Structure 1
């Protein structure tokens, strides 16, 4: 789970300076037991609360998030280096998420009629219990709340095991839930080692597990959940294709590609990682994309002028640089960046690799940082083949002025989400998740509300 920790504490290190900004002692077995007891006790009461009251708490949560938005944004920037403007936007997005589910979520949990002739049978959505959530650092608040909000609305309780380097953000979220009137045990923070995570998954008080993280972490958590016969939802990595056809609006495509690749300093699962450009416009696109990427402001993440901040962890910058060097050794062309930025901060220069082929490292592997790979496609069919030639299947983008062509391509892509003339996003109104090694299960929309529910058949007066 990529922990930055020593034997007894989780450490938060400011990636802009290299200084330690937080040290959080790992909890022992007695503390783990107490946390699970609180979550279990809270579940018994929470599940009996009317949906309308649970929705009211979500509305209050939106207000609490906005009240402490600046403190939360500053903590995100301090702990993982997200540029402050983007950190503030993350908190506002979470407040809007809470409001949206407060307004629309209860209808998603209403009894659902069936096709039984006399109307006597229906489906009820019942909560499962305490849900263990193992969450990453790249969106320290959004990644958590996009799962926690619908999970809590459904009547479950939520036990967060956050990434070790963003524990400050975890505790600020817990404070927001408390301020919004959520009772003790409804939203719990569990600071444990990987061994503690394994104990929690095996514990009968945990009803199900969700993880957002790497493929390796997903395989480990999925195996443990399976051994305990517990449902799990996995949102893993991505190597998302960003297809630009000859008839695309190039300026719009370039603008979307720059945002889609370099937002959050390139540390996004659902992002424009493989830029697959049809041969007729690949040179023009490349020139525009390189120039736009060159103009990005990289530096102090607390500055409102900064768009690309430091990478969140020093070990991940080393890994990224190794992938870039391997791709260049395999024959790619370096058009921009390509190296660590000297100094105390954990910066990696915005990088553009061209002439990338399907045999190269940056095509096959996920590059989790500010690096874009440009791949030339002979035609639209070749673009689809390249897009699907991946072990991942999270999201994809298609840029074309021909809506019929876009729909035909979308029908062929092996991903969980497809965005036409736009970069990938997660939004509460639509389902989010992947296929292949990008995981399984869905977050957001009505799928996110029902993932951790028992779809219970209730058949009255069956003759």
Structure 2
């Protein structure tokens, strides 16, 4: 895949970029290693000052970078600006909390004495250069939620971004440099996917994090396993959105529309499978379908656009195949379902009912504004369908019954359970999944400690 900015709203190539050669990659690896030796000795206060400066610059740039994001991957410009603001918030959160999250920990005095020592502590030390392989769908946020904690922990970053968002990738490198970080603290590598394996095998690279597809995660995990390097993987999702009889149906349907179509549905944590109790199925479906039909689809640069194009023609073709397979299998199209004529990679908000286990759309992730509806008789059936997937990223539950909440929290196989609200990432809460959605956690204290050397320091009596 060429490294290029291609406008999804028109299909036109805006700019192409030359991939870095071996000499430039080597220069940047050397720079990362050399920079780490000194950056690791900086204080939390110094790092926080730089990260606060980066947040201020990003916030000031949000209109400009918002237009870049929209041009590169099609997100409505209002959502792109909101993404920039969210990144600035996360930078400030880690700048303000990293020292506390990575403070030395002292074991219980009784345990120290039992060990035969006079004192002991646990210290979190940085690992070194971390390779980040990031996707296009949230081209700022996916990077910042790795970079902010990594930099605050004393690591340095090497970014291999998706090949269709090179302008955003280069902006990020420039942002951290403008903020005062030494050049080697954060570097963008304009490279294709084929170059990742050699870089990950390089001894100077100490760990890797990847957000993306399951095949990409398998490849990175395999190489990292061979090289015995730490990895964090956030892969696909097919999140359930469960609605029980006690729920606020009007609110659940309203949020369901946003949960399915934010970023044109191109989100791992977007709600994708809507599992609704039979007692409220018809009421929820009526409101949900009406909300999906009412969405404004169009030019993502227009302020009132709610759903823009998908990021690529391949993405549209994948959706078409999944919908057509479901219809052949007996699914009913309640709205949408037809690719529009004209330029750009658009697909309408679509709702399908009558889904069964034999359809591809039941098993595969739908990365676009297509929702599937399931009618269930009770909580047990809801849990059964919710867990009938290889993925386990997050989940949404709508009920006012605390006993039902307890059951869902106990039984849903996911990295998150969001009750009476849609899944959303926040710097204070751990984020990640189970099963084929990956392993490890981003964000919160758990995320910043993923790329630390957790060191025991023990003193004899």
Unaligned runs of 5+ in 1: none
* Mapping 1:385-404, distance limit 5 Å: 385-404=384-403
Shift in Å, 1:32: 0.8
* Mapping 1:193-212, distance limit 5 Å: 193-212=192-211
Counterpart-to-counterpart distance in 1, 2:280 and 2:354: 14
Shift in Å, 1:359: 3.0
Counterpart-to-counterpart distance in 2, 1:447 and 1:136: 22
Could you tell me which of 13, 16, 20 is aligned with 1:20? 13
SS at the partner of 2:417?
A: strand
Matching residue of 2:438:
439
Matching residue of 2:45:
52
Counterpart-to-counterpart distance in 2, 1:319 and 1:12: 21
* Mapping 1:356-375, distance limit 5 Å: 356-375=355-374
* Mapping 1:442-457, distance limit 5 Å: 442-457=441-456
Shift in Å, 1:265: 0.3
Q: Deviations over 1:17-44 (max 9, x none)?
A: 1111121111111111011111111111
Q: For the Cα contact (< 8 Å) 1:266–1:370, is it kept in 2?
A: yes
Matching residue of 2:233:
234
Matching residue of 1:92:
85
Matching residue of 2:127:
128
Q: For the Cα contact (< 8 Å) 1:22–1:168, is it kept in 2?
A: no
Matching residue of 2:55:
62
Unaligned runs of 5+ in 2: none
Shift in Å, 1:345: 0.8
Taking structure 1 as the reference length, what is the TM-score of the superposition? 0.97
Return 169-178 or 156-165, whichever deviates more.
169-178
Q: Deviations over 1:348-401 (max 9, x none)?
A: 011100111233222211000010000111101110111111100000000001
Matching residue of 1:149:
148
Shift in Å, 1:329: 1.1
Q: For the Cα contact (< 8 Å) 1:387–1:413, is it kept in 2?
A: yes
* Mapping 1:218-297, distance limit 5 Å: 218-297=217-296
Q: For the Cα contact (< 8 Å) 1:358–1:386, is it kept in 2?
A: no
Counterpart-to-counterpart distance in 2, 1:82 and 1:67: 20
Return 87-96 or 58-67, whichever deviates more.
58-67
Shift in Å, 1:80: 0.3
SS at the partner of 2:14?
A: strand
Shift in Å, 1:275: 0.3
SS at the partner of 1:425?
A: coil
Counterpart-to-counterpart distance in 2, 1:366 and 1:111: 42
Taking structure 2 as the reference length, what is the TM-score of the superposition? 0.97
**Aligned residues between the structures:** 455
Q: For the Cα contact (< 8 Å) 1:394–1:434, is it kept in 2?
A: yes
User: Please, what is the CA RMSD of the aligned residues?
Assistant: 1.0
Could you tell me which of 109, 133, 142 is aligned with 2:102? 109
Q: Deviations over 1:309-353 (max 9, x none)?
A: 000011111011101111111111001111212111110011100
Could you tell me which of 78, 82, 87 is aligned with 2:75? 82
Matching residue of 2:191:
192
Give yes or no for the alignment of 1:412 onto 2:411. Answer: yes
Matching residue of 1:169:
168
Counterpart-to-counterpart distance in 2, 1:383 and 1:357: 14
Q: Deviations over 1:185-244 (max 9, x none)?
A: 101001112221111000001000110000111111111111111111100000000000
Q: Deviations over 1:155-214 (max 9, x none)?
A: 000000000000100111111111111111101001112221111000001000110000
Counterpart-to-counterpart distance in 2, 1:354 and 1:311: 23
* Mapping 1:301-312, distance limit 5 Å: 301-312=300-311
Shift in Å, 1:257: 0.6
Matching residue of 1:339:
338
Q: For the Cα contact (< 8 Å) 1:110–1:125, is it kept in 2?
A: yes
Q: Deviations over 1:50-94 (max 9, x none)?
A: 111111111111101012111110000000000011000000000
Q: For the Cα contact (< 8 Å) 1:55–1:106, is it kept in 2?
A: no
Counterpart-to-counterpart distance in 2, 1:105 and 1:47: 14
SS at the partner of 1:146?
A: helix
Counterpart-to-counterpart distance in 2, 1:280 and 1:35: 60
Matching residue of 2:33:
40
Shift in Å, 1:403: 2.5
SS at the partner of 1:120?
A: strand
Give yes or no for the alignment of 1:299 onto 2:292. Answer: no
